[in-house]
A and B are shown apart, each in its own frame.
Chain A
């Protein structure tokens, strides 16, 4: 099992749609979880941290299921500006670095 696996995408959705991304991770001892956003030819930027209780930031909701080693990101009311690649991130086995999934590409069209 790869350390971090994501839906390959791409996801092509119309404006206003709700879209969900899934991610699984292999290290059951992971303690740090994040979603990052990466625009084309730019550096990744933090979208949100993921907490055990789940958390919401505006149109974005992140969920963590430790038992299944599964993380999700839900985007409601998609905007054109949400078009990007979304990276699922967890800490490595030693807890010393972050491991990034390959990302899921989202394209929102009008």
Chain B
């Protein structure tokens, strides 16, 4: 079954804890992206990676970190430095200059 998987669908954490969100793809796409969406808001780009072992900051990278050790995987760590981590996190992939495909997302709640 081809596509993008994000797990878990819902994640709850206490303030001050780091948490890592998973994103895996078997589409063989080079580029992968992390977005954040807040209620009633658009998607904001956190980090992206165009090739393995390389990644770039997006518009709101502060308080987040990523790694890209394998083509299939692009995990996002939400650190305790992120002021407002509660949000809907979306991972996406892209082939060349074509459209992006999204995973189902992870809803993170930090209390």
Describe A's contact surface by its main secondary structure.
loop
Contact A99 B45 (CB under 8 A): yes
Known contacts A43-B103, A43-B104, A45-B102; A100 and B43 CB within 8 A of each other: yes
User: Number of B residues whose C-beta is below 8 Å from A?
Assistant: 22
Contact B97 A31 (CB under 8 A): yes
Q: Which of A13-21, A59-67, A74-82, A89-97 interfaces with chain B?
A: A89-97
Contact B50 A43 (CB under 8 A): no
Contact A44 B102 (CB under 8 A): yes
Which B-chain residue is minimally distant from A2 (CB atoms)?
A: B42
Min CB distance B8 to A, Å, is: 15
A-B contact pairs, 29 of them (CB 8 A): A41-B88, A43-B90, A43-B102, A43-B103, A43-B104, A44-B90, A45-B102, A46-B99, A49-B99, A87-B42, A87-B43, A95-B97, A96-B31, A96-B48, A96-B50, A96-B56, A97-B33, A97-B45, A97-B58, A98-B33, A98-B94, A98-B99, A98-B100, A99-B45, A100-B35, A101-B42, A102-B41, A102-B42, A103-B42
Give Cα A90 to B22, complex, Å: 26
Which B-chain residue is minimally distant from A46 (CB atoms)?
A: B99
B105 within 8 A of A: yes
A25 within 8 A of B: no
Give Cα A100 to B48, complex, Å: 15
Contact B99 A43 (CB under 8 A): no
Q: Per a CB cutoff under 8 Å, which of B33, B42, B97, B105 touches A43? A: B105
A24-37, CB under 8 A of B: which get 1 and which 0?
Answer: 00000001101000
Q: Which residues of B contact A101 (CB under 8 A)?
A: 42
